[in-house]
Amino acid sequence: MLLDRRTFLASAGAFCTFGLTGPVSADTIQQRSIALWDNGPPGGGGPEGPVVENAKGAISNIAAPSMDIYMPHRPSGAAMLVAAGGGYKRIEVEKEAIPAARWLNEHGIVACVLKYRLPREKWNDGPLAPLQDVHRALRLIRSGHVSRQIDPSRVGVLGFSAGGHLMGLAAARSHFQSYVPLDKTDSFSPRPSVLALAYPVITLKPPYDKTSTRVSLVGRSPTVKDTASWSVETYVRENCPPTFLTQAENDSISNPANTAIMEEACQKAGVKVERHLFSRGGHGFAMGRRNSPTSHWPDKLENWLRRYDMV
């Protein structure tokens, strides 16, 4: 559904109340939505009916994965694919993805908000389903389906919480064929140019195995093999993109050890990594929680993105 001016301005007000300060551009509106799979997702299965949206703007019942495109007034040629969190039970679009899209647009970056499949919704490919969606989305962006103004060498990803797990896994496993190629689009690389993760779940291993992400992907009593297979750090190698990490020390959902584990994995693999740990801010601070140190993290992100020609 396209955002009209009234909807945009109302959500912009909520955005300013919650977190990031600075001007909000009324030029930032959803332009269109692009289906990821013309003939249905790989593997089959899944829910039926329309997307369900709760009172807080989180969505579930994703029968047809897609991405919503937000074009800046003056595109710089860069694009970012955005994945909000929600423990793979729902997707926190309004709380995390829309503020991120707005911020990216203000910096000239095309924002592509991903509405990925949720493993709990009876997809035959289970936890592989959302990974397939990310790989397909990146190929669609890079191949010119979103906009011919996007430079294929300047396509990054931004993930929050469980969406951070998904984006981290997709980046670390960009060489992995998550589905059988369907068309010419699938000849493009799904490796993002940069990887930015905010309070992500990285590992599913004990003692950090009490997250909804872990239960949604591998269940409550997974094997050691399955736990390792769906932990991001397992796959970090030298071909991973430059990585940005941010988290609060008092995060009660994703233990701060997660970003430490990712930082160490990147360092061991020779991947450029930058980690910002804030004294407070909790979990789910999106683009910064007002009156907390996390309100400064977008500035850190901007500086980092500039270093890699994304701004």
| Per-residue pLDDT tens over the stretch 248-261 | 999 999 999 999 99
Q: Using CA atoms, how far apart are residues 137 and 140, in angstroms rounded to an integer? A: 5
Check: CB of residue 179 under 8 Å from CB of residue 132. yes
What pLDDT score was predicted for residue 145?
95
Q: Which of 7-21, 88-102, 263-277 has the lowest mean pLDDT?
A: 7-21
- Assess whether pLDDT exceeds 50 at residue 1: no
Mean pLDDT on 201-222: 97
**Whose structure tokens read 């309070």?**
199
Residue 24 confidence (pLDDT) above 60:
no
**Read out DSSP for the chain?**
----HHHHHHHHHHHHHHS--S---TT--EEEEEES-TT--TT-B---SSPEE-TTS-EE--SS-EEEEE--SS--S-EEEEE--STTT-B-IIIIIHHHHHHHHHTT-EEEEEE---GGG-BTTTTHHHHHHHHHHHHHHHTTSS-TTS-TTSEEEEEETHHHHHHHHHHHTTTS--S---SGGGGS----S-EEEES-----STTS--SHHHHHHH-SS--HHHHHHT-GGGG--TTSPPEEEEEETT-SSS-THHHHHHHHHHHHHT--EEEEEESS--S--TT--TTSGGGGHHHHHHHHHHHTT--
What the block records as the tokens of 163 is: 């969406």
C-beta separation of 297 from 288 below 8 A: yes
Residue from 203, 197, 254 nearest 227 by CA: 203
User: What is the percent of the chain where pLDDT is above 90?
Assistant: 89
Residues 114-139 have pLDDT tens digits of 999 999 999 999 999 999 999 999 99
pLDDT band at 80 (very low <50, low <70, confident <90, very high): very high
Q: Is the pLDDT of residue 10 over 50?
A: no
Q: Where are the domains of the chain?
A: 5-307
- Model confidence band, residue 241 (pLDDT cutoffs 50, 70, 90): very high
Q: Does the pLDDT at position 299 exceed 90?
A: yes
φ, ψ of residue 265 to 5 degrees: the values are -60, -40
**Total-model pTM:** 0.91
pLDDT at residue 16 in the model: 37
Q: Above 60 in pLDDT, residue 11? A: no
For residues 68-85, give the mean pLDDT: 96
Helix (H) or strand (E) holding 195: strand 195-198
Distance CA 31, CA 207 (A): 43
pLDDT > 70 fraction of the chain, expressed in percent and rounded: 90
In terms of average pLDDT, the best of 7-21, 24-38, 276-290 is 276-290
As a 3-state breakdown, the chain gives helix, strand, coil percent values, each rounded to 5, of 35, 15, 50
Cis peptide before 207 (omega within 30 of 0): yes
- Per-residue pLDDT reduced to its tens digit, 179-210: 999 999 999 999 999 999 999 999 999 999 99
According to the model, what pLDDT value does residue 28 have? 55
Mean predicted lDDT score pLDDT of the chain = 92
Band the pLDDT of 295: cuts 50, 70, 90. very high
Mean pLDDT for the stretch of residues 153-169: 98
DSSP 197-251: EES-----STTS--SHHHHHHH-SS--HHHHHHT-GGGG--TTSPPEEEEEETT-
**Burial zone of 226 (CB within 10 Å; 0-12 exposed, 13-18 middle, 19+ buried):** middle
The domain defined by 5-307 carries CATH number 3.40.50.1820: yes
pLDDT of 233 reads 98
Q: Where does the pLDDT of residue 13 fall: very low under 50, low under 70, confident under 90, or very high at 90 and above?
A: very low
d(Cα 282, Cα 294) in Å, to the nearest integer? 9
pLDDT at 31: 83
Q: What angle do CA 124, 126, 127 make, to 5 degrees?
A: 155
In degrees rounded to 5, what are phi and psi of residue 111? -110, 125
